[in-house]
Structure 1
Amino acid sequence: MSVLRPRTGRRIVALTAGAAAAALALSACTPASDAPTAAPDWELTAETPAPSGDIDSFTWANYAEPYSLDYAYAFDYADNMVLSNVCESLLRLNPDYTLSPGLAEAYEQTSPTTWVYTIREGVSFHDGTPLTAADVVASMSRHLDPAVGSSWYSVYQNVASIEQTGDRQVTVTTTIPDSQFNLGLGGSAGVIESAATLAADGTDYGNSTGLVNCTGPFELSEWKSGESITLTRFDGYWDESLRAKSGEVRFVFMNDATARVNALKSGDVDGSWMLPVDGIPQLQASGAGDVYFGLSTATSNLIVSNLDGPLGDLRVRKALMFALDRQGILDAAAKGYGEVSNALTQESVWGGASATTRDEAFSGLEEYPNDLEQAKALVEEAGVAGQKIVFATAPIGNDFTVVSQATAAAAQSIGLEAEIKTVTPNAYTALFSDPSAREGVDLFYTVWYLSSPDPLEMYGVLRTGEFSNYGNWSNPEFDELATQAVGTMDPEERAKLTSRLQHIANEELPWLPLFAGPMPVFVGERITGVAPSIAFLYYPWAATIGAR
């Protein structure tokens, strides 16, 4: 799956979620017409039982080999589920999607455009050298270097300078007030590496030859290309509360979903994130461990990439929403694990909002029930009957097949002509990074997750001119609100503005929301202690796993 990630100067969230997640999370399922009528019985779990003690080692299945463990390119599930245990960020994104101090023991906004970070004392890299402010400057500055082409550039897009301003102090100056910059430092955008290692390893940094040298509870000790990655406990780790309970973790690369499920059932592998949904009942019945469902920030959506065709008319976008059997799509694509969504965010990223504001954000949204008569009337009113829309898809995962077929059928049922354009995974990736690849394409599918605890991360990408505003949708009221929200530092006030953005997006449909689901994980009978949460991408989740 490494082919699903180009190097780019802008962030391409949908690649990680839309392409890679689909490939690993979903296996064969029945067509929508044969979908189960009853939703599966599941509930969110925040914590698994505490370990009884330490364990020598455990094995974890990764659906693919990481593209890179260079934090500047670590932008997929396969990469970050490993890297999060080895490298650390200035801030720590916790399993409940809150932020707390990480390698920065303190941080302060001293002016609307200035952030000051106090670097933690007593932290060592895995080679034994101490963490310094100079390491922080070197690590962060790579995101601004065009020669690096960081996948996390969007977090730094408003940064004017990164400077050491004291023995343990780093000051970041932005060109405008930017509430999103600091929030982004709990993910890979905030990872700190040894400046000496970066200089010494050069282009080999983060690959199977150069490895990495960070500060996390595990160190990267071996990477066998095409086979496995082994982490060993770092005894010099600074945070006693997250000292690793396992002496070793071995990640095995298992692309085949059936093989992955069989390995978990047999006990050959102790655990895995993002389970193939068809395998969940098998695993639950196997007696080999437990399946848990954790917090997620991802939503499944259709991206409208061409507003010059029929979908440029809001009535047609609404008609397609009314024509889509979204519950049937959820049942077929995800076996009912989740719920139909009318928003492009989950409540999990609204932690900075009051309960009242969060309720306002999700209440009163257009529901778009399955209503073919209303959909047909809108198409006729718009005068586009018989016109064609093109849906791009790829042989990546079963949800791609389900969504593409269901969307084409919905379009045809309301008087539009629909073409499914199947491209290679590489070509599908290009839809997110190359405007020319989107020529002649009206719609494509994504599962879009957020890497910071703020829903504005989602709606900020829909402003006029933003790189990830793939259909070039433009709404002056939306732009004004979004820009105001970016410059609003108070979380509650920013959430109120973002609530309005969510309602506008729900009404104007620049993207068509489908459904949202949990993050599944399997924990074998030998181990326990993991916190089920999509925060495994950035939080050292493996450190908490020990013996049952």
Structure 2
Amino acid sequence: MNRKTLVLAAAMGLLAPVLAACGDTEGGGGDGDAIVVGTTDRFTASEEEGLAPLDPAYAYDVGTWNILRQTVQTLMVQPRGDGEPVPDAAESCTFTDAGNERYSCTLRDGLKFASGDPVTAADVKFSIDRARSIKADSGVFALLSTVDTVETQGDREVIFHLKVADATFPYKLSTPVAGIVNPDNYDKGKLREGFEVDGSGPYTLKSEVEDGALVRATYTRNASYKGALKVNNEQVEMVSFESADAMGDALEKADIDVMTRSMSPEQIRKLGNAADGPIDLVESPGLEIRYLAFNTDATTVKDKAVRQAMAQLINRSELIGNVYGSQAEPLFSLVPAGVTGHSNAFFNKYGDPDTAKARELLEEAGVETPVKLTLHYTTDHYGPATKVEFEQLSKQLNDSGLFQTDIKGAPWATFRPAGQKGQYDVYGMGWFPDFPDADAFIAPFLAEDNFLNSPYTNTEIQEDLIPESRRQADRLSASDSLTEIQDIVAAEVPVLPLWQGKQYVAARDDITGTAYAVNSSATLQLWELGRGVSG
């Protein structure tokens, strides 16, 4: 193993990091200059994309959630190394009935917002009810869809009455949509526009904005924070770069200390092969997935035989080998490997790529060939290799003689709303799970009010199988219903999974805590970073 590469391995089905090389220690100095972190995530407030990117009732992508996780506290939080969520703003939380339909939390004593105002049970109720009632078009409110009513008893107890059993509810209370906000700063019926955030999390935020875009976020340790997280630094600055190359140059020059998403495959290979030098690369298992989404009402792909033929043709191993190398693995289900309930449903259904079988599917359905399609992708959200990936996908489909495809890219600010509005027949998306459970890879795509705003509906999945899986507190016991859902998706192909990615962080070698800086759900945990001894 390369001395300068820290590899974090998965164990016992959980994506838990373990220390395997030098360049990282627990803790951190907690003092010194601000740690500067680079990202290629772009944060904009526009009429097209939404004017309230950092409102917990609206935000629903990994970049904005990573800002909120530093600043807006939740009742529960994902622990270091993943696993089941633990209390954060809460002192304790538990189901109080045998059917997983009543969930009670007691707040920590003396909890305060960064402003100094006390955090009460009424503030928790306000925050949850606000997100549910606003119903932002991002679809994030669907995470709270099982909530019926929220009750308070005194200043510290909150009771959630659920419509149906939901064993995943503690996970949902660890997501930013359940972030606790101050009613003095957030209107009950209106989103908060711009880049201001107020909460009781580990940091306060100061935003530097240029031309409607957040270019630098300064996180300062919140002295009022009381929770489960140990904060190992006083200040972190996050800088948004226009390209991975620009971010990499800044790390080389020591203008930044840490480089996060999204690095290019070339940068990762170069850093991984470097035997010595001042920069360490951290590799860990991840739950990021990439997939093709379909507007199943569109004329070109309405016939499921077209979607099935694409599933029969695409060679995932060849795609990954030509673009990402060892940085990704083929994915044959919406639920990735490493998550309880995963099955290889698409491989079980289609096996190896086969042009003859794809032709047979189209002929039996009476579909004329070649099928003409445009494959849409985003130019600035999933990393610099996305265009090359779509060139490879287009080539594979065209080489079969059954399809005639081209590709078209658009910036995320345009791409995301267009996909939600059904303007693309086929388009490429990525997904970072809301929490590390199979439900977080199924419900956002297949439940009512789904993230994609997809016209595809399967009554059995929505009314029977998803509720059935949520009744099982032991997630292994939910495997039968989860497997059936994955089999239906493979047969009807409303989405087509492509690959599952690993995660990478690159840092100057005097930075500590990098082994836990990003968890398996791509949550950025800035509180883990500190400064230590170079070497």
Which interval holds the TM-score relative to the shorter structure? 0.7 to 0.9
Alignment partner of 1:158 out of 125, 133, 146: 146
Tell me how far apart the structure 2 counterparts of residues 468 and 70 of structure 1 sit (CA, whole Å). Answer: 17
| Higher deviation after alignment, 464-473 or 137-146 | 464-473
Alignment partner of 1:76 out of 61, 69, 73: 61
Tell me how far apart the structure 2 counterparts of residues 219 and 466 of structure 1 sit (CA, whole Å). Answer: 32
8 Å contact 1:267–1:524 — kept in the other structure?
A: yes
SS in 2 for 1:408: helix
How many angstroms does 1:407 deviate by? 3.2
Shift of the 477–81 alpha-carbon distance from structure 1 to 2, 3 Å rule, reads: closer
Shift of the 328–434 alpha-carbon distance from structure 1 to 2, 3 Å rule, reads: same
Unaligned runs of 5+ in 2: 10-16, 19-23, 45-52
Question: Which residue of structure 2 aligns with residue 124 of structure 1?
Answer: 112
Tell me how far apart the structure 1 counterparts of residues 369 and 201 of structure 2 sit (CA, whole Å). Answer: 58
How many angstroms does 1:249 deviate by? 0.8
Question: Which residue of structure 2 aligns with residue 62 of structure 1?
Answer: 39
How many angstroms does 1:153 deviate by? 0.6
How many angstroms does 1:147 deviate by? 7.6
8 Å contact 2:433–2:521 — kept in the other structure?
A: no
Alignment partner of 2:282 out of 292, 298, 321: 292
Question: Which residue of structure 2 aligns with residue 515 of structure 1?
Answer: 499
Tell me how far apart the structure 1 counterparts of residues 309 and 137 of structure 2 sit (CA, whole Å). Answer: 40
8 Å contact 1:326–1:340 — kept in the other structure?
A: yes
How many angstroms does 1:255 deviate by? 1.5
CA RMSD across the alignment = 3.2
8 Å contact 1:302–1:513 — kept in the other structure?
A: yes
8 Å contact 2:332–2:344 — kept in the other structure?
A: no
- Percent identical residues: 20
Shift of the 148–400 alpha-carbon distance from structure 1 to 2, 3 Å rule, reads: closer
Question: Which residue of structure 1 aligns with residue 479 of structure 2?
Answer: 495
Alignment partner of 2:433 out of 414, 432, 450: 450
How many angstroms does 1:194 deviate by? 2.3
Tell me how far apart the structure 2 counterparts of residues 361 and 497 of structure 1 sit (CA, whole Å). Answer: 15
Matched, 1:138 2:126: yes
Matched, 1:505 2:492: no
Shift of the 466–503 alpha-carbon distance from structure 1 to 2, 3 Å rule, reads: same
| Higher deviation after alignment, 424-433 or 518-527 | 424-433
SS in 2 for 1:520: strand
Question: Which residue of structure 2 aligns with residue 18 of structure 1?
Answer: none
SS in 2 for 1:410: helix
In structure 1, what residue type is equivalent to 2:244? A
Tell me how far apart the structure 2 counterparts of residues 464 and 82 of structure 1 sit (CA, whole Å). Answer: 27
8 Å contact 2:148–2:163 — kept in the other structure?
A: yes
8 Å contact 1:180–1:457 — kept in the other structure?
A: no
Matched, 1:330 2:340: no
Tell me how far apart the structure 1 counterparts of residues 304 and 58 of structure 2 sit (CA, whole Å). Answer: 37
Alignment partner of 2:239 out of 252, 256, 272: 252
Which structure 2 residues correspond to residues 359-438 of structure 1 after superposition, within 5 A?
Answer: 365-366=348-349, 368-394=351-377, 396-397=379-380, 398-420=384-406, 422=408, 424-425=410-411, 426-435=413-422, 437-438=423-424
How many angstroms does 1:297 deviate by? 1.7
Shift of the 325–52 alpha-carbon distance from structure 1 to 2, 3 Å rule, reads: same
Tell me how far apart the structure 1 counterparts of residues 372 and 453 of structure 2 sit (CA, whole Å). Answer: 16
In structure 2, what residue type is equivalent to 1:402? V
Matched, 1:44 2:8: yes
Shift of the 498–463 alpha-carbon distance from structure 1 to 2, 3 Å rule, reads: same
Which structure 2 residues correspond to residues 307-346 of structure 1 after superposition, within 5 A?
Answer: 309=299, 311-346=301-336
How many angstroms does 1:525 deviate by? 1.8
SS in 2 for 1:493: helix
Question: Which residue of structure 2 aligns with residue 527 of structure 1?
Answer: 511
SS in 2 for 1:298: strand
Shift of the 295–324 alpha-carbon distance from structure 1 to 2, 3 Å rule, reads: same
Shift of the 510–404 alpha-carbon distance from structure 1 to 2, 3 Å rule, reads: same
8 Å contact 2:346–2:490 — kept in the other structure?
A: no
Tell me how far apart the structure 1 counterparts of residues 209 and 458 of structure 2 sit (CA, whole Å). Answer: 50
8 Å contact 1:330–1:339 — kept in the other structure?
A: yes
How many angstroms does 1:259 deviate by? 0.9
Unaligned runs of 5+ in 1: 1-40, 351-356
Shift of the 477–194 alpha-carbon distance from structure 1 to 2, 3 Å rule, reads: closer
Tell me how far apart the structure 2 counterparts of residues 454 and 464 of structure 1 sit (CA, whole Å). Answer: 15
Tell me how far apart the structure 2 counterparts of residues 160 and 201 of structure 1 sit (CA, whole Å). Answer: 18
- Structure with the largest fraction of helix: 1
In structure 1, what residue type is equivalent to 2:166? D
| Higher deviation after alignment, 191-200 or 525-534 | 191-200
Query: 1:422-464 deviations in whole A, cap 9, x for unaligned?
Result: 26434421243213x24xx2x2111122112221232224547
Shift of the 369–43 alpha-carbon distance from structure 1 to 2, 3 Å rule, reads: farther
Matched, 1:217 2:202: yes
SS in 1 for 2:43: coil
Return the TM-score normalized by structure 1.
0.80
How many angstroms does 1:527 deviate by? 0.6
How many angstroms does 1:391 deviate by? 2.8
Question: Which residue of structure 1 aligns with residue 253 of structure 2?
Answer: 266
Question: Which residue of structure 1 aligns with residue 12 of structure 2?
Answer: none
8 Å contact 1:85–1:543 — kept in the other structure?
A: no
Shift of the 320–152 alpha-carbon distance from structure 1 to 2, 3 Å rule, reads: closer
Tell me how far apart the structure 2 counterparts of residues 462 and 546 of structure 1 sit (CA, whole Å). Answer: 41
Query: 1:321-359 deviations in whole A, cap 9, x for unaligned?
Result: 332222222133324411111111223442xxxxxx66x
Shift of the 332–364 alpha-carbon distance from structure 1 to 2, 3 Å rule, reads: closer
| Higher deviation after alignment, 112-121 or 174-183 | 174-183
8 Å contact 2:221–2:235 — kept in the other structure?
A: yes
8 Å contact 1:159–1:172 — kept in the other structure?
A: yes
How many angstroms does 1:382 deviate by? 3.6
Tell me how far apart the structure 1 counterparts of residues 397 and 173 of structure 2 sit (CA, whole Å). Answer: 42
Question: Which residue of structure 1 aligns with residue 47 of structure 2?
Answer: none
In structure 2, what residue type is equivalent to 1:70? D
Tell me how far apart the structure 1 counterparts of residues 128 and 410 of structure 2 sit (CA, whole Å). Answer: 34
Tell me how far apart the structure 2 counterparts of residues 472 and 189 of structure 1 sit (CA, whole Å). Answer: 24
In structure 2, what residue type is equivalent to 1:116? S
8 Å contact 1:389–1:416 — kept in the other structure?
A: no
How many angstroms does 1:308 deviate by? 6.3
Tell me how far apart the structure 1 counterparts of residues 142 and 396 of structure 2 sit (CA, whole Å). Answer: 35
Alignment partner of 1:174 out of 146, 155, 162: 162
Alignment partner of 1:92 out of 45, 64, 77: 77
How many residue pairs get aligned? The number is 493
SS in 2 for 1:483: helix
